[in-house]
Amino acid sequence: MDILQDESSRGQAVHTDNALEDGDGDHQPPIPEPVASSPPRQSQRAQPKTFLTGPPLTSCRHVDNYEKLNRIEEGAYGVVYRARDKQTGEIVALKKLKLENEKNGFPVTSLREIHTLLLAKHPNIVNVKEIVVTPSMKGIFIVMEFVEHDLKSLMGTMSSPFLQSETKTLMLQLISAVACLHQNWIVHRDLKTSNLLMNNAGQMKVADFGLARRFGSPLGHMTQLVVTLWYRAPELLLGAKEYSTAIDMWSIGCIFGELVNKEPLLAGRGEFDQLKRIFQLLGTPTERNWPGMAKLPGLKTFNFVTQPHNNLRSRFPYLTENGLNLMNRLLCYDPEKRITADEALRHPYFTEPPLPKDPSLFPTFPSKNAGEKRKVYETTPSAPKAAHGEDDGPGLFDVAGVESTGGFRLRI
């Protein structure tokens, strides 16, 4: 099985094959260019024949080239293992695709994932190395770079939130990766902390592209049942038939709040409860701050009590004014006015003190994915822990203690 990529299509508004789309739009076949009535004039001398050449075609390697070390996790579409390349000794993540219940051939979610990862190369997007198969060709595996942690599990073991300087670094990495996706006409549609990986070099990797898809201009209709509930934008919850890359930016706003307070920002128990929590936090939307919302079908189903106040400041008392402004712009009700990834990268929040921390200065933690057990180290003396991830400004280097997570934290 071979995967070829047309580099000339990058950054253009194109509609991909039906196998990679939701299938709810009509696709017209391309109109062939007119053929000249007579061939162009040739020189009297015989012209040498030319042949088109392309990338070499090679068969997929067998999965036997990898040694499985331990199982990392199992999801709806595959099982992920930590494995070692027997030839090079490199540690990788091996994702076995679930094909047992597939009736229509290769799963479309896996096609989307492979297609997206081959198209969007970025330091903060997980890298696909190759596709391998079993000798019988009944098992198909995606070989990806191994990353030690997922952000959700990692924060669950931390005794305090990330520092503000660390939060800024992680946010910049996330927004930069999403900007790359959007520039390549790709919408992720499932950004959440459990789909963000982080290595022990302080580098974040966006993963899990099973719901990602290419889009064009005009956008057209796409399926509404996307994005995990806690990170789902209000236009999706209210049944919008068309949406844009703005749904990814709303998810980033929810992740921002989770990084700052080390807890989910909007942990609803259903769609009605999720909308209720959004309105309680940001105030009930109106036609003034969200033109056209009255036409959304969900408003005919749900009946909400009017709450006119934005309560973000009380939820994030330690966040700077610039930080609060960025969060408000990420969580803007009107998708047309919601901040874009390119705009967010230039937001003044990232240039005010404390500045983003160098990733190499991030603490290191035992890797759950590698089967490492948590260690507790004694440190003498221990500096006070920062409250709610707040830095206390530039100063001398000091060790803020090794927290119960077993990670060393160097504060600047």
Q: Is residue 379 a contact partner of residue 158, using CB atoms and an 8 Å limit?
A: no
Q: Is residue 244 a contact partner of residue 219, using CB atoms and an 8 Å limit?
A: yes
Q: What are phi and psi of 95, to 5 degrees?
A: -105, 115
- Which is catalytic among the residues 26, 64, 150, 190? 190
Q: Which residue has the tokens 């096609």?
A: 111
Alpha-carbon gap, residue 290 to 334, rounded angstroms = 5
Helix (H, G, I), strand (E, B) or coil at 412: coil
Q: What are phi and psi of 329, to 5 degrees?
A: -75, -30
Q: Is residue 279 a contact partner of residue 285, using CB atoms and an 8 Å limit?
A: yes
Alpha-carbon gap, residue 38 to 263, rounded angstroms = 70
Q: Is 190 annotated in the active site? A: yes
Helix axes 246-261, 164-183, angle to 10 degrees: 170
Q: How far is CA 48 from CA 21, 42, 43, 138, in A?
A: 43, 12, 11, 46
Helix (H, G, I), strand (E, B) or coil at 244: coil
| Closest-CA residue to 122 (of 20, 199, 201, 207) | 207
HEC secondary structure over 153-221: HHHHHCCCCCCHHHHHHHHHHHHHHHHHHHHCCEECCCCCHHHEEECCCCCEEECCCCCCEECCCCCCC
**Strand partners for 91:** 84
Entry field: residues in the chain: 412
Peptide bond into 354 cis (omega under 30): yes
Residues classed as catalytic: 190
